[in-house]
Structure 1
Amino acid sequence: MKAGVMRWGPLVVALLASSGASADMARRRDAVVEVVQKVSPAVVYIGTEQEVESRFRRRSPLEEFFGGMGGGEQGRQKIEGLGSGVIIDPTGIIVTNDHVIRGASAIHVVLADGRSYDAEVIGSDAGNDLAVLKVTAKEALPIARLGTSADLMIGETVVAIGSPFGLSKTVTAGVVSAVGRTFRADNRVYNDFVQTDAAINPGNSGGPLLNVDGEIIGINTAIFGGGAQGIGFAIPADKVRRIVDELTRFGKVRPSWVGLDAVDLTPRAARQLGWDRSYGALVTAVETGSPADQAGVKRGDIVAELGGSRIQDAEDFDTRVRGYPARSAFPLVLFREGATRTLQLTPSEFPPRMVESLAWDRLGLKVKETRGVLALNGVRAGSAAAEVGLEPGDIILRVNNQPVTSADGFKEALITARRGRSVLLLVRRGRYGYHITLPFEQDRGPSL
């Protein structure tokens, strides 16, 4: 009996240890582990290359003489970038940030299993910081499902997967800290973001923020304060869905038009209108026949909420509207005569017929194509354009850093730029170029 125990003792111990390890692993396999195992195959590393002129290398006298012949690439250097992305369609459709791939001459995508592909850009939008890429694979690729951000709860668990500092397949977990967050970074105001305390570092940009069901509830895009601990941001999934659909179908986001002007709500105006809150934007004009007019918006209304989140001021309203492409309806909560009411507003594409009026009434400019360039052929007296000295015959090269060479290109650039408070022009006169900022005059012309 004693010998038998000695013989079977080690096996019993091993079996008990194995059973204990299995039970322990089952206990440790929580929701975060399951999300990672489910979604990580769909998260990709994105490497980019960008060629720029080198400011440091001097060309030799021989190169100067031959103008760089035989060495055209000399004097240029490659800058490498990195980021993350997530596959949302098995045919190879990938979502990432616009700033991850902006200006790239080559884009490489590496899957979690090591497979590598060259990617093409289907479409990108700097205003919403989203881009759609496409890779071609012989077989269906693993995907992550795009969920909704409409029902996010403050405090619910979220998981971020990406490649911070180039360390691929890095996982961090945290909670939803806030929704509808507005913040300022790099001299820009960012609106309607999901805030999380899940660690998000350089290289995480473009990767997914996931709920415990493994659904994408945001695309990680920003770091507050240069990497402050516990503060990261993601573009909410509902906005991602709208923008990705536009980029996939049209290659760009079609500028939307609602046909109203709004200004910041002052405390005095709020008191006069009976509004006892510190947020909101005041409607000052509604274009007859516009989407806003058809929805029932009136001059003097206070815009309180858009898409379920508060509107802080006029800039917040304009930025939020840009997140809804043409024909994408959204709820608008207004305050009028002591009561709130909710309207459904469906923006349309900006009417091309109104662009000339927009340029003349808001900027004081008329343009004309001549000899392959875009020249001014009219400057309205008393306008900001006239005050800075613009004259007929000046050549417009860029609108908000977008090259323009035709009247149609000018119209498209102006439609995109119109929701800003001003527009930056690069103007050439003779041999010299000048950057000029012109304000959109808010008391003239069509509503935006």
Structure 2
Amino acid sequence: MKAGVVRWLVVATLLAASGASADMARRRDAVVEVVQKVSPAVVYIGTEQEVESRFRRRSPLEEFFGGLGGGQERQKIEGLGSGVIIDASGIIVTNDHVIRGASAIHVVLADGRSFDAEVIGSDAANDLAVLKVSAKEALPIARLGTSSDLMIGETVVAIGSPFGLSKTVTAGVVSATGRTFRADNRVYNDFVQTDAAINPGNSGGPLLNVDGEIIGINTAIFGGGAQGIGFAIPADKVRRIVDELTRFGKVRPAWVGIDAADLPPRVARQLGWDRSYGALVTSVEPGSPAAQAGVRRGDVVAELGGSRIQDAEDFDTRVRGYPARSSFSVVLFRDGESRTLQLTPTEFPSRMVESLAWDRLGLRVKEVKGVLALSGVRPGSVASEVGLEPGDIILRVNNQQVATADAFREALLTARRGRSVLLLVRRGRYGYHITLPFEQDQGQSL
């Protein structure tokens, strides 16, 4: 080959390489940089759960009362989800529903390494869990950012394992913040809404800004994800709950001493409140954090933690997102003026839990030989009317196992703002599911 031809081929090759390099640089936008930076810290989570299945037909009486009688066999089911490493020592954040009830949890890193994980703590009410894996060297991490300065329309990136397809990336924008929606007969509050595609298996994975910071943990899918509507727990809430779970293994029940109700338009007009949102303070427990901060009966709660309060249920849910000793601001409307107060919840007083069980459910419990038994049933209560008696064994409260008085109190604290509580009660050889309504509309103060 002639020397001139060779030189031409070399020049052409160099020019092509230079052009490809320039093209690559042009294509490397913010989303690509985020993915390359953070994807090593996003993990696939696989779970195994053993459940009991019935194989003997129950009698009509057992069917009616939801009895536990009959033969049973154990069956293994598998689940999947996503998570993100936030500490190089192996601390992983995911959703509570991803790992709930799992007998084994397996974590697979982006580089293919696999670990068994232990649960440091989880909280169903906030749908967050903290896992720990042990590795010989520091693991890649993603930094937890803030959700307080999110802008509607800003670009976000979701990374996870939808339908088991690991290392899947979707991009979109922040569609809304502080979003409330209803699904499966439950109201979900204070979410970041995005149009980035989020599908089953994305749960527990990170929602990221263009700086590669975690601004939310993907958790909910609306309408099967087909409408481009996904939700994430905001990063500021994640930080509070994760800190609580890491330090204590659970979220300590918080109490501020406020009982709130929805604000009817007629009452709002009488108070001079001309907005369509807000919750009415109907009572303040003497000596409570709210009383000490200056909250009064008849105040309108307009904002909590910088976001509007839509109604009483929104207020209740938002308060539960702040653990004990974690302060937040509250904007109140009183006498034609708005004022901002700082509230610091304390742990829910145990005396009030016992009062809650007796006054609203008609139950009193005690520990007997390793189980939790009814020690009293209030005459005239719904519990008495359905036939509960002292000596009956309480196995579960709202599907949460309770074998001690402390476990019963914690389960009741979680359930206290609902309209009813589901009990699994054992009498003799049989167990029965019984739903007890809370007996008064206005419950214990939060």
Q: Same fold (TM over 0.5)?
A: yes
Counterpart CA distance in 2 for 1:209 and 1:290 is 37
Describe the shift of the 1:429–1:386 C-alpha distance in structure 2 as closer, same or farther (beyond 3 A): same
Alignment: residue pair count: 431
Tell me the alpha carbon deviations over residues 115-163 of structure 1, each in whole angstroms, 9 at most, x when there is no partner: 1111111111111111111100000000000000000000000001111
The residue identity in structure 2 corresponding to 1:144 is A
Aligned to 1:180: 178
Counterpart CA distance in 2 for 1:145 and 1:444 is 42
Describe the shift of the 1:381–1:415 C-alpha distance in structure 2 as closer, same or farther (beyond 3 A): same
Show the 5 A alignment for 1:306-317: 306-317=304-315
The residue identity in structure 2 corresponding to 1:361 is D
| Structure 1, gaps ≥5 residues long | 59-73
Q: CA deviation at 1:295?
A: 1.3
Aligned to 2:37: 38
The residue identity in structure 1 corresponding to 2:27 is R
Q: CA deviation at 1:83?
A: 0.8
Describe the shift of the 1:15–1:314 C-alpha distance in structure 2 as closer, same or farther (beyond 3 A): same
What is the aligned counterpart of 1:360 among 358, 364, 372? 358
Show the 5 A alignment for 1:11-90: 11-54=10-53, 75-90=73-88
The residue identity in structure 2 corresponding to 1:42 is A
Alpha carbon RMSD of aligned pairs, Å?
A: 2.2
Aligned 8 A contact 2:259 2:444 in 1? no
Tell me the alpha carbon deviations over residues 269-302 of structure 1, each in whole angstroms, 9 at most, x when there is no partner: 1111111111111111100010111111111111
Larger relative contact order (Cα-Cα within 8 Å, sequence gap ≥ 6): 2
Aligned to 2:349: 351
Tell me the alpha carbon deviations over residues 7-42 of structure 1, each in whole angstroms, 9 at most, x when there is no partner: 422222111111111111111111111101100110
Q: CA deviation at 1:105?
A: 1.2
Q: CA deviation at 1:196?
A: 0.5
Structure 2 length-normalised TM: 0.91
What is the aligned counterpart of 1:434 among 409, 432, 435? 432
Tell me the alpha carbon deviations over residues 229-252 of structure 1, each in whole angstroms, 9 at most, x when there is no partner: 310111100111011111111111
Counterpart CA distance in 2 for 1:371 and 1:55 is 28
Aligned 8 A contact 2:301 2:331 in 1? yes
Describe the shift of the 1:77–1:398 C-alpha distance in structure 2 as closer, same or farther (beyond 3 A): closer
Counterpart CA distance in 1 for 2:235 and 2:439 is 35
Aligned 8 A contact 2:87 2:139 in 1? yes
Aligned 8 A contact 1:361 1:445 in 2? no
Q: Per the alignment, in what secondary structure is the counterpart of residue 413 of structure 1? A: helix
Describe the shift of the 1:372–1:6 C-alpha distance in structure 2 as closer, same or farther (beyond 3 A): closer
Tell me the alpha carbon deviations over residues 333-380 of structure 1, each in whole angstroms, 9 at most, x when there is no partner: 111111211111111101123222222223232233345443334333
Q: Per the alignment, in what secondary structure is the counterpart of residue 406 of structure 2? A: helix
Does 2:138 correspond to 1:127?
Answer: no
The residue identity in structure 2 corresponding to 1:296 is G
Q: CA deviation at 1:193?
A: 0.6
Aligned 8 A contact 2:259 2:442 in 1? no
| Structure 2, gaps ≥5 residues long | 58-71
Aligned 8 A contact 1:361 1:444 in 2? no
**Which moved further from structure 2: 374-383 or 354-363?**
374-383
Counterpart CA distance in 1 for 2:283 and 2:33 is 52
Aligned to 2:383: 385
Q: Per the alignment, in what secondary structure is the counterpart of residue 203 of structure 2? A: coil
Describe the shift of the 1:271–1:217 C-alpha distance in structure 2 as closer, same or farther (beyond 3 A): same
Aligned to 2:445: 447
Does 2:75 correspond to 1:99?
Answer: no
The residue identity in structure 1 corresponding to 2:19 is G
Describe the shift of the 1:41–1:373 C-alpha distance in structure 2 as closer, same or farther (beyond 3 A): closer
Q: Per the alignment, in what secondary structure is the counterpart of residue 218 of structure 2? A: strand
Q: CA deviation at 1:422?
A: 2.7
Show the 5 A alignment for 1:395-410: 395-410=393-408
Aligned to 2:191: 193
Counterpart CA distance in 2 for 1:192 and 1:376 is 38
What is the aligned counterpart of 2:115 among 114, 117, 138? 117
Counterpart CA distance in 2 for 1:135 and 1:167 is 22
Does 2:317 correspond to 1:319?
Answer: yes
Aligned to 2:273: 275
Structure 1 length-normalised TM: 0.91
